[in-house]
Amino acid sequence: MSKYWGVVPRPFAEVSSVVDEVARSQRWTVAPASTAHDRVYIKGMSAFSWGSSMTVQLRDEGELTRVSFDIHPTSLWGMWRARDIVNKFIVALGGVLEYS
């Protein structure tokens, strides 16, 4: 598992309304366990992967939204790419990674 944190300089309501669209555009599927603040996304198996899951936690902080990512890749390739995957996701939301 890899954990990352970031910030999106937009209110929670704006971010939460588009986070699923961003996930779908990057080929993630919304898992049934998702809530308004804790979004769970999965990618299925393929010929090259056993699949992955990612939990995106959104925290309302007024004019900005804090975002944390728990990503569970199931391959060495996925572990090496975890930061790139998360960075691409948060940039699509209009934010940046803070640290990891």
81 pLDDT band, cuts 50/70/90, is confident
Instruction: Name which CATH class applies to 2-99.
Output: alpha beta
pLDDT reading at 100 higher than 60:
no
In angstroms, the Cα distances linking 46 to 10, 49, 69, 75 are 35, 5, 23, 12
Q: Report d(CA 100, CA 97) in Å as an integer.
A: 8
Domain residue ranges of the chain, discontinuous segments joined by +: 2-99
Span 23-67, pLDDT tens digits:
999 999 999 888 989 999 998 766 666 678 899 999 999 999 999
What is the pTM for the complete model shown? 0.85
The closest of 40, 51, 99, 100 to 75, measured between CA atoms, is 51
82 pLDDT band, cuts 50/70/90, is confident
Core vs surface per residue 35-67: b (16+ CB within 10 A) or e: eeeebbbbbeeeeeeeebbbbbebeeeeebbbb
